[in-house]
Chain A
């Protein structure tokens, strides 16, 4: 008898527990979440295929923050349409802090400047914190007769239609930085032929092989080929020289301070992220910036850490967007 009663009683007790558990887990009020966020796996969307510097940055941020928070942050690649697919996925997700975006300059301000019909505006994502910058390097073929930036631009100015430059995509920093430079040198950027290549690596090989005359690419993509003298770096866009390539002058030293566009990555999220999510991530990013191992890892991939909080970052991006709009119209890129 007793045994039978136990058998019947157990399910009732079990269901009661199950009900309580479900109620607690599903119906937690948002204020409770704020205290404990994150309580489950966070998706960090990378709007590019794996392997690039945005992807690597995302993987480092995810690894270090997962360790710190004791919660898994999984990197999810949503490549397509120059970053738009991934950004739209993040923007359409719930703004509960469990879907975040590894943002990058092209998706952040440059694409919105080019594409009038883009399904999002530059200021639509909630900006949380900038993690790093990506200095751009101007380079020519390794055995080129050009010894410095001035010589290149003087030649191009004489007969701009004789020269070609490569860019790693439709828009992106490699296009806009060259436009900045050519304009500063008094050359009409539309006169020089722009060869749109498919990514950073082909751009570097095309310059190294002499198929196009010059290009401007992320530091991370050019370091090894410059060290091997297959290409020659003539200027970097940062105010200071970069540690990995100390011989390359800054654009200011090379005489063209207007060549100053610098790429970046940062954490963003869907519109109207709750404050506690912004705070948690902002604080987390600041903490890992103080971890020498993280700083070293980022340095190694050619993306030196450079923190910027939500407010400052937005102001910088607004200026970047306006300047990009100007060049997009000048180059006839704006649609």
Chain B
């Protein structure tokens, strides 16, 4: 009952006209930021911090948090329509969403993305509300060995993202791991593959690689094919059908729960939640061969997970003052600028702020649904824009996005070069997703491995002696076994199916 009282207090704060207005401003800007590739919530929140200084703290944070979860909604739009994930967290969305768009089902894909975002987002706020204090200790239980095992579990997903050929998928994953070693060695500080170039010293940014491998290579492929026919498919319906709902029901439940739990862990963040839930859905599915070919469950799982991770991430941020991801680190900064010090005492010292913010997230999620559902028709009709007009617009967005991530010109060149690499990878049937997955995970695996071995003074058994870590490693083994087993068992049947339904 105490929670209910506090929630009523929260709504009384969040429902004042000013707070409602700024909540709307936040989620609206967030949606826009999510739609623009590369221009992420991190930069968006940072730019608006000075503006927020003139607002009362609660109002300011309601707006800034709105930008964050709003961007998770928006990120799916470009992923589905033009194969350009606005955020790393939307990469798994693009895998099936874009295929759906090309089959004329952009509307249902966008609709399901918005709906699953709403459901999972709301679920995670309930989780945040009820479980914040007890869950805070989960984040503390994760030390380097636990992170290593979690990220290792993540790396086993390469096997299921591999597509037609396991060998090609593994090679793509290895390529991603190699790319991640460019730059300064995080533990000893030695230079690796930077050839004295100070820009390369800070490594290859994965945003620019994503933009190149997914968006620019897509433009190149389409430019090579006859440009006109690319999007000639008719729009088949704007909203998910009853069958779509039935297909997605478990994806919605699973992604809500697992997205929230993964979001709790500092460092794991929304993108890893999206990848893991996408993979999980594929493993649970009766027809895993449809994944990557336009399965609506894939879209629902990925978008649900990255939104659920937002609520999960707020738990360590508010209760421990630990930001699990970059955008939340900026929110932490914003909190401190406004004189609010996150930590276990925040809930007792500033209840009106905490509960006002939580209540505003409920309201913001409803606003996002209302904002996004009518836009589905508008966005979906965007794919009717003739490609010769759309392509240059997308290309310029790509360049801006690549530059915007770190304000660095090198990233633009990286994006362009990876556009060409992506083009040839597609020609040779190498999947791109494992490259990005490995690029995101490998540095964390490397750090956690070396940190763990420093702690254990070189004893590798540390990973098996700590219970959480041991369980995660066993899960990794099961995941690997399942991926290979299903591949073997169904290989002949699946192979035939994939090849007949494959569009490129």
Contact = CB atoms under 8 A, between A and B. Distances in A.
On whether the two chains bind one another, the answer is yes
Interface of A: 49-52, 55-56, 59-60, 62-63, 75-82, 84-85, 88, 114-115, 117, 119, 161, 164, 170-171, 193-198, 201-202, 204-206, 208-212, 220, 223-225, 227-228, 230, 297, 300-302, 333, 335
A196 B198 contact: no
B5 interface: no
Given A50-B330, A205-B266, A230-B140, A78 B341 contact: no
A206 B321 contact: no
Contacts of B408: 78, 80, 85
Given A50-B329, A230-B320, A301-B337, A195 B198 contact: no
A56 B454 contact: no
Contact of A63 (B50, B139, B451): B50
B348 to A, nearest CB: 10
Contacts of B188: 170
A201 B183 contact: no
A77 to B, nearest CB: 7
Contacts of A209: 140-143
Contact of A194 (B45, B346, B454): B454
Given A56-B337, A209-B143, A224-B321, A197 B344 contact: no
Contact of B183 (A75, A81, A333): A81
Interface in B152-180: none
A225 B320 contact: yes
B198 A114 contact: no
Contacts of B337: 56, 59-60, 297, 300-301
B321 A225 contact: yes
Nearest to B321: A224
Contacts of B336: 56, 220, 300-302
A52 B386 CA distance: 45
18 contacts: A50-B46, A51-B333, A55-B333, A60-B337, A77-B406, A80-B201, A80-B203, A81-B183, A170-B189, A195-B144, A196-B450, A201-B321, A201-B329, A204-B322, A205-B142, A212-B143, A224-B346, A301-B336
B454 A88 contact: no
Contact of B202 (A60, A79, A297): A79
Nearest to B183: A81
A88 B337 CA distance: 28
Interface of B: 42-43, 45-46, 49-50, 53, 139-144, 183-184, 186-191, 198-199, 201-203, 266-267, 320-323, 326, 329-333, 336-337, 339, 341-346, 406-408, 447, 450-451, 454-455, 457
Given A205-B322, A220-B336, 10 more contacts: A50-B49, A59-B50, A75-B46, A79-B202, A82-B184, A84-B198, A84-B201, A115-B189, A197-B451, A224-B320
B329 to A, nearest CB: 4
Contact of B345 (A52, A194, A205, A224): A224
B345 A77 contact: no
A76 B47 CA distance: 9
Contacts of A225: 320-321, 343
B343 A211 contact: no
Contacts of A197: 144, 451
A271 B152 CA distance: 46
A201 B343 CA distance: 12
Contacts of B321: 201, 224-225
Q: State the main secondary structure of chain A at its contact with B.
A: mixed
A56 B341 CA distance: 14
Q: Which 3 A-B pairs have the closest CB atoms?
A: A80-B202, A224-B343, A211-B143
Contact of A211 (B144, B183, B457): B144
Contacts of A51: 46, 323, 326, 329-333
A76 to B, nearest CB: 6
Contacts of B140: 205, 208-209, 230
A50 B333 contact: yes
Nearest to A297: B337
Given A205-B322, A297-B337, A300-B336, A195 B447 contact: no
Nearest to B447: A198
A82 B345 CA distance: 32
A204 B316 CA distance: 13
B46 A77 contact: yes
A50 B333 CA distance: 8
A300 B339 contact: yes
A170 B144 CA distance: 16
A78 B407 contact: yes
Contacts of B326: 49, 51
Nearest to A213: B455
Nearest to A72: B50
A300 B6 CA distance: 27
Contacts of B46: 50-51, 55, 75, 77
Contacts of B187: 170, 196
B142 A228 contact: no
B50 A80 contact: no
A8 B352 CA distance: 67
Contact of A56 (B198, B323, B333): B333
A212 B42 contact: no
A135 to B, nearest CB: 16
A170 B184 CA distance: 10
A209 B407 CA distance: 36
A186 B339 CA distance: 41
A2 to B, nearest CB: 46
Contacts of B407: 76-78
Contacts of B451: 195-197
B186 A198 contact: yes
Nearest to A211: B143
A79 B407 CA distance: 9
A297 B447 CA distance: 35
Contacts of A212: 143, 455
B189 A335 contact: yes
A335 B53 CA distance: 43
Contacts of A194: 454
Nearest to B324: A201
B202 A85 contact: yes
Contacts of A220: 336
Contacts of A210: 143
B344 A228 contact: yes
Contacts of B331: 51
A119 B346 CA distance: 44
Contacts of B406: 77-80
B426 to A, nearest CB: 30
Given A115-B189, A196-B187, A228 B202 contact: no
Contacts of B457: 161, 193
Contacts of A115: 189
A224 B349 CA distance: 12
A17 B53 CA distance: 41
